[in-house]
Structure 1
Amino acid sequence: MSAAPAAGLPRVSVGVRATRPDRGAIASATAGTAALMRLHLRRDRIRLGVWIVGLIAVTGASANAVQGVYGDAAERAAYASTMDSSPATIAMSGPPVALETTGGITVFETNAVALVGVALMAVFLTVRYTRGEEETGRTELLRAGVLGPRAPLTAAGLLVAAASVLAGAGVAAAFLGLGLPAAGAVLFGAEVAVNGIAFTALSLVCAQALSHARAAAGLAAGLVGAAFAVRAVGDVGGGTLSWFSPIGWAQAAHPFGEDRWWPLALPLLLAAAAVGAAWCLDGIRDVGGSLVAPRRGAASAPRGLANVPAWAFRMQRAAIAGWSAGMVLAGAALGSVGSQVAEMVRGNAQMEKVFGGAEAIVDQYFAMVALLLGLLVAGFAASTVLRLRGEETSGRAEVLLVAGVSRRRWIGGWLAVTAAAAAGLTVCGAVGAAVADALATGDVSQLPRVFCAMLVPLAAVAVVVGLTAALVGFAPRVQYAMWVVVAWAFIVGWFDDLLGLPGWAVDLSPFSWVAQAPAEPMGWGAWLLTLAIGAALTVGGVAGLCRRDLQAQ
């Protein structure tokens, strides 16, 4: 049926066909997607390469180190018996499946790093290519040309999903190169890939919901942490709760065990639903807008904001509050299982001989907890110091300096608040771990000892702050190399014994400069020297940023 045309107007069909999806409209909405993907590749080829190659290298090196450790059936049986009775290890590594095989042990030792790593890659890259591009104004500029309205979202999703697939394929190739069975190796690679695709889609939704890239990335990273925590609690408690976590779905594939492919359909279904939601949300908001409108500020600023440290705290308060709560929870979760580590060893003569008794392995466990909490604080500190560069390139710093604030006050105030926040976060993690351990064991006498041990990595965090400030001050183009330092500190702390790293490589991590308390006696000289190095690097970074020109984009 057609409507009669009016005089001078073309005939317009209003029949059933007008209600069907128009392929031409979809093509128009995604016009320029391929060109935008090439632009992202051109700009971020090094960043993408570091993420993908880094994930493959860390996972592959860890897998390679496992191969010679559990060579015969007796050693594998002893390993399986130990891990099956270790809630702490299951919470960190996942379900203990096929531990009587070399492939199962390899997956158990590496899957947490691979799955969390690919998820974080998906989060940060997806938000960067969506909300980050809108914040800088590049999306609006490109859409003024021939770029379709859905091209930015489509390009970001396809590019990061492809990066996840490449990471999964690389991990599978590394496992195949070690001579592990092909079925399990390919399944584990697919597990890594679909996990990255799922969090890519979830990050697309977060980018539509919030108006700032930092907030969107924080929300998406929080989803990664929540998924890992739900999976950890579920695996320790019987496995039911793990089915409410995307990471739990991926690990349910059980490579080298049952080799189940069907659980991998669940992350893909989640990804499809999230992409559909992101597509719809992208169509109902303006460029630069968001589903959650930013709160309007007061008509007049408080007088306290005239103070640079107060301004810096105001800028960081939301992140500090969120990180403080997270550190307390992380410390409590890790500290509460210290008694279970002792019970795992107590009564086992062979393990007591290896570890030096139940008390010794508890000390080693809390030394690892201190390292993990310190690395988390180091990540917060590095990202916060790097915000100075963001304030500079956005032009906001120039406005502040024109108002009469000196560079030294601006930089010094920001770094002082960052250092104080890092110290506060360390204390939050220490309180959580010490109190949880005291409640779990009923022994309050160990509370001060555990609390003080959690504070030891603070000197290494000071080095991270100083080195980041030095990169921002003297070499802003390579400032993101700071994340290589943090990643290497994690590799050294987590995989040193497994990889057999040489001494000079271990010493590249600032966390190796201080004692691994409470497992090692406290060396105050090394601790104070490490703190002094961090302070000297910070002072140098301030001097470098004061001397060079500001670089606004």
Structure 2
Amino acid sequence: MTGTWSLVRLILRRDRFLLPPWVMVIAVLPVVQTSGIAELYTDEAALRRFAASMGSAPAFSALYGPVLHWNAAAMGVWRAGFTPVVLALAVILTVVRHTRAEEETGRRELLGAAVLGRRAALSAALIVAGTACLAVGLIVTLSFRAYPAPGALATGLGYACVGMVFAAVAAVAAQLTESAGGARAIAISVLGLAFALRMAGDTGGTGWLSWSSPIAWGQRMRPFAGEEWWPLGLFAALVITLCALSYALAGRRDLGAGLLPPRLGPADAAPGLATPLALAWRLHRGSLAGWSAAVAFGGAVVGATAQAASGALGQNRQALEMLARLGGGAGVGQALIASVVSILGIAVSGYAIQAASRMRTEETLMRAEPLLCAAVSRRRWTASHLVFAFGGPVVVLAVLGLSAGIAYGAVTGDPGAHVPEVLGAALVQLPAVWTLSALVMALFGLLPRLLPLAWAVLAAFLVFGQVGALLDLPGALVDLSPFSHLPRLPGGEVTATPLITLVAIAAALTAAGLYGFRRRDIG
């Protein structure tokens, strides 16, 4: 453990522009949702009707979990039910970045040549991630100071514990593979499985199934709905077990190696890998397939339950008003699909950032330099990755639109009408998603060390674009999000001007990034 606190200070210094933004954004979402609901529903009867409508809609139960109580605080925490998943994703990326990624780049070996304990790096990453989770929990608790203290504490502890569980999951994953990408894939797959189990348990009538997901344990603490504290024992047992397993696995492998042996490839590359685009396809195909499968599942759930949800919400004026602010559409089903598709469109921006950031990963791992020393220009190499940074979201959003449209059409009996309109609602998100891809390209070319800030920008867009609409935030703040300027489809009116403007902004940022990359040093 020698040198652990020195590494903690190093991590905090490296993440000083990245860690505080996502901690603050994640921490304020529950109370912001609560404030929005309290403004919309000013009396007890309205809150009860809203809770009954939301609780009877399978689509909302799948996304946010079960409705436990009708008061504004409980409904606000419920409406922010996807936030623990975002926190889990953030801590997974943080732990892998400071463990396996450090070994992959060789920095861990360089530091290990000094007076540094073998488990110091893993301990430092877990300490920073755990402290960030506790900070989120503390801010959440303090933000609910106007509400009953037990509920505020249960909310904060639930968030912090979910984050700690997946920090420990990432620590275990970092011991299994030789690559940071493989460790991220394993940990994010576990997160996806946990969310799918929670969804299945909350919508399929098998509530026991959700108990197999730690995401559901925070909800089972019932914040502002008659708190129960014993799930904290489940969190503690799982975190301790996973951390102990990660330390045990770390002691059984060599530095830079993983416990899962890498699959050795042929001595000579296949003819299909003779071009930069073919190599980029090889690097991006796993991520593209994973995101496509995830949105296909989410789209099918939303489409299949939209009709039932529209029947439950049809008589709730406040719920319709909230959906109108978040989405659009002439009918209840259309408004529900529009609101959920807009949220999933922001999620797809995460894939766009990940795909565009692959160039920086290849550069820091010194795999780009050998290619650029050959007969491959910087422009051609960059273009091969931009195909997936800009074309990948087209595929993912098309899969989202088709899965949701087919499921919705099958339920309503009119797939010929609904598939095109839902597909259009998904694809109209592209200009905003491309803006994030272009931002990453600009940072990669001009300020590569600041590239992680793209995730903070995405978090800000989520707050301004989604929560700002509920809270009537100043228009200048809401307009900062490109997603605020998109047509609300299906059912809304399409205006070409904002779409063209966003595409022009994306083109300008991409051009700036290409210009900067052609003129800066590699590394």
| Pairwise TM-score range, normalised by the shorter structure | over 0.9
Q: What secondary structure sits across from 1:45 in the alignment?
A: coil
Q: What is residue 298 of structure 1 aligned with on the other side?
A: 266
Among 127, 131, 141, the alignment partner of 1:172 is 141
1:504 paired to 2:472: no
Q: What secondary structure sits across from 2:452 in the alignment?
A: helix
In 1, Cα distance between equivalents of 2:4 and 2:299: 44
1:367 paired to 2:335: no
TM-superposed CA distance for 1:300, in Å, is 0.7
Among 303, 306, 309, the alignment partner of 1:335 is 303
CA contact (8 A) 1:103 1:181 kept: no
Residues 405-463 of structure 1: CA distance to partner in whole angstroms, max 9, x if unpaired? 11111112221233222211121111111111122222223222222222111122222
Q: What secondary structure sits across from 1:240 in the alignment?
A: helix
Residues 188-223 of structure 1: CA distance to partner in whole angstroms, max 9, x if unpaired? 111111111111111111111122112212221222
In 2, Cα distance between equivalents of 1:543 and 1:221: 34
Q: What secondary structure sits across from 1:318 in the alignment?
A: helix
Q: What is residue 145 of structure 1 aligned with on the other side?
A: 114
Matches within 5 A, 1:124-163: 124-163=93-132
In 2, Cα distance between equivalents of 1:493 and 1:358: 18
Among 492, 514, 518, the alignment partner of 1:542 is 514
Q: What is residue 269 of structure 1 aligned with on the other side?
A: 237
Matches within 5 A, 1:95-110: 95-99=66-70, 101-110=71-80
Q: What is residue 382 of structure 2 aligned with on the other side?
A: 411
In 2, Cα distance between equivalents of 1:474 and 1:494: 30
Amino acid corresponding to residue 189 of structure 1 in structure 2: G
Q: What is residue 449 of structure 1 aligned with on the other side?
A: 421
RMSD across aligned C-alpha pairs, in angstroms? 2.2
In 2, Cα distance between equivalents of 1:327 and 1:92: 13
Among 249, 255, 274, the alignment partner of 1:281 is 249
Amino acid corresponding to residue 90 of structure 2 in structure 1: M
Q: What is residue 91 of structure 1 aligned with on the other side?
A: 62
In 2, Cα distance between equivalents of 1:352 and 1:64: 15
1:44 paired to 2:15: yes
Question: Which is worse superposed, 56-65 or 161-170?
Answer: 56-65
Amino acid corresponding to residue 329 of structure 1 in structure 2: F
In 1, Cα distance between equivalents of 2:401 and 2:305: 15
Larger RCO (CA under 8 A, 6+ residues apart): 2
CA contact (8 A) 1:412 1:542 kept: no
Among 186, 191, 197, the alignment partner of 1:230 is 197
CA contact (8 A) 1:204 1:278 kept: yes
Residues 156-215 of structure 1: CA distance to partner in whole angstroms, max 9, x if unpaired? 222211221121011101111xx1011111111111111111111111111111221122
CA contact (8 A) 2:435 2:503 kept: yes
In 1, Cα distance between equivalents of 2:317 and 2:385: 52
CA contact (8 A) 1:485 1:509 kept: no
TM-score (norm 1): 0.88
In 2, Cα distance between equivalents of 1:533 and 1:212: 34
Residues 497-551 of structure 1: CA distance to partner in whole angstroms, max 9, x if unpaired? 322122222221112222111131222343234323323322332122112222x
Q: What secondary structure sits across from 1:286 in the alignment?
A: coil
Amino acid corresponding to residue 228 of structure 2 in structure 1: R
CA contact (8 A) 1:327 1:425 kept: yes
In 1, Cα distance between equivalents of 2:19 and 2:319: 45
* Distance change >3 Å, CA 131–CA 167, structure 1 → 2: same
TM-superposed CA distance for 1:253, in Å, is 0.4
* Distance change >3 Å, CA 403–CA 365, structure 1 → 2: same
1:395 paired to 2:366: yes
CA contact (8 A) 1:342 1:358 kept: no
Among 491, 494, 503, the alignment partner of 1:531 is 503
Amino acid corresponding to residue 99 of structure 2 in structure 1: T
Amino acid corresponding to residue 452 of structure 1 in structure 2: G
In 2, Cα distance between equivalents of 1:94 and 1:349: 20
TM-superposed CA distance for 1:313, in Å, is 1.1
TM-superposed CA distance for 1:472, in Å, is 1.3
Question: Which is worse superposed, 41-50 or 332-341?
Answer: 41-50
In 1, Cα distance between equivalents of 2:127 and 2:106: 21
* Distance change >3 Å, CA 255–CA 286, structure 1 → 2: same
In 1, Cα distance between equivalents of 2:407 and 2:270: 39
In 2, Cα distance between equivalents of 1:78 and 1:345: 9
Question: Which is worse superposed, 522-531 or 392-401?
Answer: 522-531
CA contact (8 A) 1:84 1:96 kept: yes
TM-superposed CA distance for 1:237, in Å, is 2.9
1:208 paired to 2:175: yes
CA contact (8 A) 1:52 1:163 kept: yes
In 2, Cα distance between equivalents of 1:546 and 1:430: 37
Among 154, 157, 160, the alignment partner of 1:190 is 157
Amino acid corresponding to residue 255 of structure 1 in structure 2: P
In 2, Cα distance between equivalents of 1:352 and 1:135: 49
In 1, Cα distance between equivalents of 2:16 and 2:131: 13
CA contact (8 A) 2:57 2:312 kept: yes
Amino acid corresponding to residue 170 of structure 1 in structure 2: I
CA contact (8 A) 1:407 1:546 kept: yes
In 1, Cα distance between equivalents of 2:490 and 2:430: 14
Q: What is residue 381 of structure 1 aligned with on the other side?
A: 352
In 1, Cα distance between equivalents of 2:497 and 2:142: 46
Among 262, 280, 283, the alignment partner of 1:315 is 283
Unmatched runs of 5 consecutive residues or more in structure 1: 1-29
CA contact (8 A) 1:135 1:212 kept: yes
TM-superposed CA distance for 1:477, in Å, is 2.9
TM-score (norm 2): 0.93
In 2, Cα distance between equivalents of 1:209 and 1:326: 23
Matches within 5 A, 1:461-500: 461-500=433-472
> Equivalent pairs: percent with the same residue?
37
Amino acid corresponding to residue 100 of structure 2 in structure 1: R
Amino acid corresponding to residue 112 of structure 1 in structure 2: F
* Distance change >3 Å, CA 229–CA 39, structure 1 → 2: same
TM-superposed CA distance for 1:254, in Å, is 0.3
Residues 298-334 of structure 1: CA distance to partner in whole angstroms, max 9, x if unpaired? 1111233232211211221221222222222222122
Q: What is residue 36 of structure 2 aligned with on the other side?
A: 65
* Distance change >3 Å, CA 103–CA 532, structure 1 → 2: closer
Q: What secondary structure sits across from 2:398 in the alignment?
A: helix
In 1, Cα distance between equivalents of 2:87 and 2:497: 39
* Distance change >3 Å, CA 342–CA 54, structure 1 → 2: closer
Among 469, 488, 492, the alignment partner of 1:520 is 492
CA contact (8 A) 1:332 1:436 kept: yes
CA contact (8 A) 1:103 1:256 kept: yes
In 1, Cα distance between equivalents of 2:21 and 2:282: 33
Q: What secondary structure sits across from 2:16 in the alignment?
A: helix
